[in-house]
């Protein structure tokens, strides 16, 4: 009887070896989806001490022509995640998303590319997640929510049912957005804040109910 052909697993480049990069690297390693996981970070590669994965300063050090390498941008800055998504695509790598084995993602949810769902992260039924999104440890995107590209839900943040978050937003740790509420792009929500009304212009919001922080005057000299 012919033996079933074993599909060869792809390997993964994790772009960024800082705090967030190491969390993503570990999630990818634990997922068992990849033959090998390697971080790319010229700075971190100098003092690397994780036993389960290498960190190199350039992909040329690890990528061989007969292997399939995917990549995921893994830095906290939304601007850099976008930059890495673009530059590594231009280099010919395909972006993928990473799911911690202890995350729960509804099969009916739509996931973008280059996004991550970390330990205890939940994406509920028919939610839509953009590209380069971070759903951090214990963050919840409830049913029918939408999360725009390069947004970040910090640990424990909750987007309640039917809410939407624009692109490039940051929901601070343990913050929450009331069900059915819409938050526009480029909005920062402080740690522990509770968003009860639609937010229609970019800015920083803190407290319960969340209120806009006044812009600070920047003194240059």
Ligand X SMILES: CC(C)(COP(=O)(O)OP(=O)(O)OC[C@H]1O[C@@H](n2cnc3c(N)ncnc32)[C@H](O)[C@@H]1OP(=O)(O)O)[C@@H](O)C(=O)NCCC(=O)NCCS
Which of 42, 66, 73 lies closest to 56 in space, CA to CA? 42
CB of 43 to ligand X, least distance (A): 20
Smallest gap from Cβ 115 to ligand X, in A, equals: 16
CB of 117 to ligand X, least distance (A): 15
Question: Phi and psi for 217 in degrees, rounded to 5?
Answer: -75, 125
Q: Do the beta carbons of residue 89 and residue 105 sit within 8 Å?
A: no
Which single residue brings its beta carbon nearest to ligand X? 190
Smallest gap from Cβ 116 to ligand X, in A, equals: 12
User: How many Å apart are CA 20 and CA 154, to the nearest integer?
Assistant: 11
> Alpha carbon 77 to chain centroid distance?
10
Q: How far is the CB of 64 from ligand X (least distance, A)?
A: 35
Residue closer to ligand X, measured from CB, 129 or 134: 134
Measured from the CB atom, is 162 or 192 closer to ligand X? 192
3-state secondary structure of 199: strand
**Interface residue list for ligand X (CB under 6 A):** 136, 154-155, 172-173, 188, 190-193, 204, 206-207, 213
* Nearest to ligand X of 5, 216 (CB atom): 216
Looking at beta carbons only, is 89 or 212 nearer to ligand X? 212
* Ramachandran angles phi, psi of 88, nearest 5°: -75, -25
Three-class secondary structure of residue 167 per DSSP: coil
Residue 20 φ then ψ, to 5°: -65, -40
Q: To the nearest whole angstrom, how small is the minimum distance from the Cβ of residue 208 to ligand X?
A: 9
| DSSP, residue by residue, 17-33 | -SHHHHHHHHHHHHHT-
Q: Are 38 and 28 in contact (CB under 8 A)?
A: no
CB-wise, 18 or 162, nearer to ligand X?
18
Q: Where would I find the H helices in 46-99?
A: 78-90
Nearer to ligand X, 143 or 191 (CB): 191
């Amino acid at each position: 009887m012919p033996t079933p052909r074993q599909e060869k697993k792809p390997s993964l480049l994790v772009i960024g070896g800082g705090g967030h990069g190491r969390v993503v690297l570990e999630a990818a390693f634990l997922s068992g989806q990849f033959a090998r996981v390697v971080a790319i970070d010229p700075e971190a590669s100098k003092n690397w001490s994780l036993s389960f994965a290498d960190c190199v300063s350039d992909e040329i050090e690890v990528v061989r022509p007969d292997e399939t390498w995917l990549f995921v941008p893994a830095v906290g800055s939304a601007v850099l995640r976008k930059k890495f998504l673009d530059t590594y695509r231009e280099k010919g790598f395909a972006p993928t998303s990473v799911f911690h084995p202890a995350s729960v993602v509804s099969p009916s949810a739509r996931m973008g590319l280059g996004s991550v769902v970390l330990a205890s992260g939940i994406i509920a039924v028919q939610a839509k997640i953009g590209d380069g999104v971070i759903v951090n440890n214990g963050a919840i995107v409830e049913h029918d929510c939408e999360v725009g590209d390069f947004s970040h839900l910090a640990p424990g943040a909750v987007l309640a049912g039917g809410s939407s978050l624009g692109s490039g937003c940051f929901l601070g740790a343990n913050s929450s957005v009331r069900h059915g509420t819409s938050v526009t792009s480029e909005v920062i929500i402080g740690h522990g804040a509770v968003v009860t009304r639609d937010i229609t212009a970019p800015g920083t919001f803190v407290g319960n109910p969340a209120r806009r922080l006044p812009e600070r005057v920047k003194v240059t000299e």
